[in-house]
Amino acid sequence: MTCKRILLVTQYFQPENFKCNDIAFELQRRGHEVTVLTAIPNYPQGKFFDGYGLFKRRTEVLNGVHIIRGFVVPRGKDSKILLALNYLSYLVSSCFIALYLVLRYRYDAVFVHQVSPVTIGVAATFVKKIQRIPMYFWVLDLWPESLTAAIGMRNKYILGFFSKMVQWFYRNSDKILISSKGFERSICEKGNFASKVVYFPNWVDSALTMNADVETPTVPNGFVAMFTGNIGESQDFGTVLKAAEQLKDNTNIHFVIVGNGRAKGWVEDQIVQRNLSATVHCVGSYPLEAMPATFAKADVLFAALKDEPVFALTVPAKIQAYMSAGKPIITMINGETKELIEDIGCGIAVDAGDAKAFADAVLYLSQMSSEQRSELGEKGRTFSAKYFNFELQMNMLETIMND
């Protein structure tokens, strides 16, 4: 592939842990010149990372990648107002920086890492239109559907506004990359975009294949069903805790929750209120490098999402990570994730929101022999190594950007 000057637009970048980090550093390693337009890091803690701020490290170079950080209002904790200001402030600052960049530099392509909020596409689309270059839009979070699923937004005017914005992004994209095959239906309902859609799934982070000498959580003795990642409203911990209530007399079964997020405080309060402290444990957040050793302490790994139409179209990135660990997986997610787990045979998939079925799945796997659980886990590891390989995905991306 001819080496290109690429502008990667994302609200989240190193030291925040997102897949766009891998893309930027790997494209740079392969000889491309990569500039990242991002924000002052503040996810998920809700405050600026140490060493970063309004007047600190707004520009830097990491592994050859040039990084420019727009100002944002920190997202805070459990505040919808601060979160909205966080999104809005990045929209404004990224547009001003994008205007500066297009007047000073020339790019060959712009790549959008589209998680929430979708408004990050505004600055990228300006760059695409002004410089008349290809734009590649990687959709990891469907909008406006996510507004309804995550915060219960029902206002037809607000949803209509974001729907029009998304259509504008899709019309101006040369390719629309999707992390889940189920996204294609939603995208094509918004316009004649079928010819632009390319399946580009998440991959297993290289850190998950190495054993690092880092601190890991202490877990109780017994059978451990572990969750790792963002502890948010979408992850349906209300139903998870209902399942834990059904199993609390089985004192050998423990639910271990590793991570952080906006709903963590609520989960911790509910553990106490429901008298689950003996079997449900929030053990804090640990870096990605600690995950291989952390996964090794689990007997099964689980994931859940609320019973919302948009979540039936997605496969969370943690599923690939879980597969790489060679552990059985329990999912309480409808649609594509459920079908994937059932097709591979690497665990048990139950309907979203079904606390009894989830509890039954945990109990059933706890009664299996370790050899039987290993057989299930190995199916996931084999599938992951074949289909969620980072090197292959990057080869595909270069091919897409060279067409």
DSSP letters of 16-46? S--HHHHHHHHHHHTT-EEEEEEE---TTTS
- Which pair of tokens denotes residue 396? 């595909």
196 and 316 share a domain? Answer: no
127 and 253 share a domain? Answer: no
Q: Is 277 exposed, middle or buried (0-12, 13-18, 19+ CB in 10 A)?
A: exposed
- Which pair of tokens denotes residue 55? 């007047």
**Which residues, including other chains, have CB under 8 Å from residue 80's CB and lie 6 or more apart?**
151
142 and 178 share a domain? Answer: yes
218 and 130 share a domain? Answer: no
222 and 83 share a domain? Answer: no
> What per-residue confidence (pLDDT) applies to 1?
60
23 and 76 share a domain? Answer: yes
> What per-residue confidence (pLDDT) applies to 225?
97
295 and 392 share a domain? Answer: no
Domain of 335, CATH number, reads 3.40.50.2000
261 and 162 share a domain? Answer: no
C-alpha to C-alpha distance for 292 and 295, rounded to whole angstroms: 5
β-bridge partners, 199:
178
Nearest Cα to 107, choosing from 123, 92, 87, 127?
127
68 and 197 share a domain? Answer: yes
Secondary structure class of 162 (helix, strand, coil) = helix
Range of the domain at 172: 5-203+388-402
Positions in the chain whose pLDDT score sits under 70: 1, 149-153, 206-212
Dihedral pair phi/psi, residue 172, rounded to 5°: -90, -5
> What per-residue confidence (pLDDT) applies to 90?
94
221 and 273 share a domain? Answer: yes
> What per-residue confidence (pLDDT) applies to 9?
97
SS3 content of the chain, % helix, strand, coil (to 5): 45, 20, 35
CB 270 within 8 A of CB 241: yes
Question: How many domains is the chain partitioned into structurally?
Answer: 2
> What per-residue confidence (pLDDT) applies to 376?
95
> What per-residue confidence (pLDDT) applies to 396?
92
268 and 336 share a domain? Answer: yes
C-alpha to C-alpha distance for 13 and 36, rounded to whole angstroms: 8
> What per-residue confidence (pLDDT) applies to 150?
61
CA angle 40, 215, 275 (to 5 degrees): 90
> What per-residue confidence (pLDDT) applies to 151?
62
58 and 76 share a domain? Answer: yes
C-alpha to C-alpha distance for 339 and 333, rounded to whole angstroms: 10
> What per-residue confidence (pLDDT) applies to 149?
64
